[in-house]
A and B are shown apart, each in its own frame.
Chain A
Amino acid sequence: MWRRFVELVNAKEPVVGLAAFRVLVGLVLFEELFTAWWVGVDRALWLPPEHGGMVPLADPWQFHVLGGPTPATVALVLWGTMVASLLVSAGALTRVASFVALQGFLALMFVNLPCGGGHDKLITNALWILALSPAGASASVDCRVRTGRWLDPTPRAWWPRWVLGLQIACTYTYAGWAKMGPEWWPWGGWKAVYISILQPQWNEVDSTWVAFAYPLTQLATILTMVFECGFFLVPLWMALRHRHVWLRRYDLRVPFLLLAFVMHGTLETFMNLGPFARISVAYYLLLFDAEEYARAWRTLRGLFGAPHPAEAT
């Protein structure tokens, strides 16, 4: 069994989904930090009161080493992390950039912990594994410098893609199982989505009309529970489909991803949850292997009438 596990961990595939994921993670992090800087969150939440901030702060090791959060050190960490996140997207010095972005973002998270959310943890998990992965081996500046081309189909380590795929499955599944509030269950009237949309803490617009669509919100609550509690079935299906032919007849990713887009679309429309939807959707790119991306690419080219490169020559 251990031998089989070692073989799996050391398996290889061309870097496609992981490279696309890398691009999105960098952009999501940059957008989150840039918008924070643009509206003044850095001065309000990441500086202590003696430097004009709102609240007392913690002293994570990264700021401790720099001499504490001051206007100069916060600017250094913030802009350093933003530059590193763009380098992650571009795939330039990818592993180093991922690690720098990770430590910079951890410093900003831990200096004022109550202002974060689950999306922050999805970002840090992504950056840690990207720092160890060959995500910069293709569709990157690193690839261009190394090979003279933008794309490199050489098979590379496969484990980062499936470890990160398991991460999003773990996130959803535990989020579902941890929903202990009665509003998620029949004895609470399946009221969770109704209350969430109306919560003034999160909502964007006056949503009192939702009272007239209450049965729909109950259905959405049930579907959310099915989606989250059952998401562990997706990686399970992905692992077993190679052994059992009948499993390949039904692609379990399709219903789950359809539900995901409806759920995250609803959240994005009515609520302000930061980059939660965007970083979650980025993880979905990891649920498809290089062959599936190649098939999708051929189909797309076929749809637009472009000849296959082999036919064109």
Chain B
Amino acid sequence: MTTTSADPDLRQHLLAVFVAFHLTAMVVVSFPAPSRSLLADEPSASARELLAPWVAAGARVGLDEDAVRGVARGWSEGVRAVHGAFYPYTHYLGALQGWTMFGHITAESALPEIEMQRDGRWEPVYVARSTEHAWRRSLFDHDRVRTWLHEAGWKGHSKGWSTFADWALREVSADFDGVEAVRVQFVPVHIPDPVDLRVSRSLEVGRPERVEVRRP
């Protein structure tokens, strides 16, 4: 690396200003903010699990749960306000930040399934990770489709699950004859503790949820 000892000119100062701005945006916009679902008035079981150690730590210094949640809410709102100041730069020029990856991994998940009804009988068309019922498996195995199904379909962060059912009816009807109805659903999966898994050798599967049925 070589540096120059001559007095920097205006262009060099401007470049330094830009780099300083970019670095500030990078560091500041990366500050993690607790998600809104975590700070909801009635948090989910997963959110309560995540908050529990912080509530316990708060109790040790004389803060009750409401006070701890108040601190978290204040932090969250403050961080979001700062993020907003950099939004045009990060959003339009790709300097996107936010690195809460694998921040809280729960033992609960779900696998999508698609079934079709023919001659009055339901039969599986696609069962996640199955080699037997593997309709459009290469599509469903793609990381973007997996992510969408889990984040938007299972967690229900978008209204897309309903239109997904419409899509499934259209596509299954195009690929199979005599389709009378199509059903899409999630099968909840619980990951047992290691001691239990060593005995059972399988994940615990629940009853289907978020069931949507479509008829032509």
Chain B, 134-191, CB within 8 A of any chain A CB: 136, 138-139, 141-148, 150-152, 157-160, 163-164, 166-167, 170, 189, 191
Asked if residues B103 and A180 are in contact (CB atoms below 8 Å), the reply is: yes
Asked if residues B19 and A199 are in contact (CB atoms below 8 Å), the reply is: no
Interface of chain A: mostly helix, strand, loop or mixed: helix
Taking a contact as CB atoms closer than 8 A, the residue among B97, B105, B198 that contacts A195 in the complex is: B105
* Interfacial chain B residues near A192, Cβ < 8 Å: 102, 105
Taking a contact as CB atoms closer than 8 A, the residue among A9, A52, A120 that contacts B12 in the complex is: A9
Taking a contact as CB atoms closer than 8 A, the residue among A13, A41, A182 that contacts B139 in the complex is: A41
* Interfacial chain B residues near A127, Cβ < 8 Å: 94
Task: Give the distance in Å from the alpha carbon of A238 to the alpha carbon of B117 in the complex.
Answer: 63
Asked if residues A180 and B104 are in contact (CB atoms below 8 Å), the reply is: yes
Q: How far is the CB of A272 from chain B (nearest CB, A)?
A: 5
Minimum CB distance partner of B32 in chain A: A178
* Interfacial chain B residues near A105, Cβ < 8 Å: 94
* Interfacial chain A residues near B197, Cβ < 8 Å: 198, 208, 211
Q: How many residues of chain A are within 8 Å of chain B by beta carbon?
A: 79
Q: Say yes or no: is A313 at the interface (Cβ < 8 Å to chain B).
A: no
A 184-224 to B, binary, CB cutoff 8 A, 1 in contact else 0? 01010000101110111110000010011010000000000
Q: Say yes or no: is B123 at the interface (Cβ < 8 Å to chain A).
A: no
Asked if residues A166 and B23 are in contact (CB atoms below 8 Å), the reply is: yes
Q: Say yes or no: is A307 at the interface (Cβ < 8 Å to chain B).
A: no
* Interfacial chain B residues near A56, Cβ < 8 Å: 158-160, 163
Asked if residues A121 and B106 are in contact (CB atoms below 8 Å), the reply is: no
Task: Give the distance in Å from the alpha carbon of A170 to the alpha carbon of B146 in the complex.
Answer: 27
Minimum CB distance partner of A274 in chain B: B143
Q: How far is the CB of B21 from chain A (nearest CB, A)?
A: 11
Taking a contact as CB atoms closer than 8 A, the residue among A12, A41, A199 that contacts B2 in the complex is: A12
- The segment out of A63-71, A82-90, A155-163, A297-305 that lies at the interface is A155-163
Asked if residues B105 and A3 are in contact (CB atoms below 8 Å), the reply is: no
* Interfacial chain B residues near A44, Cβ < 8 Å: 139, 145, 167
Asked if residues A181 and B50 are in contact (CB atoms below 8 Å), the reply is: yes
Asked if residues B53 and A274 are in contact (CB atoms below 8 Å), the reply is: no
Asked if residues A11 and B191 are in contact (CB atoms below 8 Å), the reply is: no
- Knowing A106-B94, A208-B203 touch, does A195 contact B106 (C-beta < 8 A)? yes
Asked if residues A11 and B2 are in contact (CB atoms below 8 Å), the reply is: yes
Q: Say yes or no: is B93 at the interface (Cβ < 8 Å to chain A).
A: yes
Q: Say yes or no: is B1 at the interface (Cβ < 8 Å to chain A).
A: yes
A 121-144 to B, binary, CB cutoff 8 A, 1 in contact else 0? 100110110000000000000000
Q: Say yes or no: is B64 at the interface (Cβ < 8 Å to chain A).
A: no
B 100-128 to A, binary, CB cutoff 8 A, 1 in contact else 0? 11111111011100000000000000001
* Interfacial chain B residues near A114, Cβ < 8 Å: 147-148, 151-152, 157-158, 160
* Interfacial chain B residues near A49, Cβ < 8 Å: 163, 166-167
Q: Say yes or no: is A248 at the interface (Cβ < 8 Å to chain B).
A: no
* Interfacial chain A residues near B189, Cβ < 8 Å: 200
Minimum CB distance partner of A101 in chain B: B94
- Knowing A11-B2, A45-B148 touch, does A163 contact B23 (C-beta < 8 A)? yes
* Interfacial chain A residues near B94, Cβ < 8 Å: 102, 105-106, 124-125, 127-128
Minimum CB distance partner of A242 in chain B: B1
Task: Give the distance in Å from the alpha carbon of A114 to the alpha carbon of B102 in the complex.
Answer: 15
Chain B, 13-57, CB within 8 A of any chain A CB: 13, 15-16, 19-20, 22-23, 26-27, 30-32, 34, 49-50, 52-54
Chain A, 1-24, CB within 8 A of any chain B CB: 2-3, 5-13
Q: How far is the CB of B67 from chain A (nearest CB, A)?
A: 18
Q: Say yes or no: is A76 at the interface (Cβ < 8 Å to chain B).
A: no
* Interfacial chain A residues near B104, Cβ < 8 Å: 179-181, 183
Task: Give the distance in Å from the alpha carbon of A167 to the alpha carbon of B163 in the complex.
Answer: 38
* Interfacial chain A residues near B93, Cβ < 8 Å: 102, 128
* Interfacial chain B residues near A40, Cβ < 8 Å: 136, 138-139
Q: Say yes or no: is B8 at the interface (Cβ < 8 Å to chain A).
A: yes
* Interfacial chain A residues near B63, Cβ < 8 Å: none
Ranked 4 nearest A-B pairs via Cβ: A55-B160, A181-B104, A124-B94, A274-B143
11 residue pairs A–B, Cβ–Cβ below 8 Å: A11-B1, A36-B142, A115-B145, A171-B99, A175-B99, A178-B100, A179-B102, A182-B50, A194-B194, A274-B144, A289-B1
Which residues of B approach A to under 8 Å, CB–CB?
A: 1-5, 8, 12-13, 15-16, 19-20, 22-23, 26-27, 30-32, 34, 49-50, 52-54, 92-107, 109-111, 128-129, 136, 138-139, 141-148, 150-152, 157-160, 163-164, 166-167, 170, 189, 191, 194-195, 197-198, 201-203
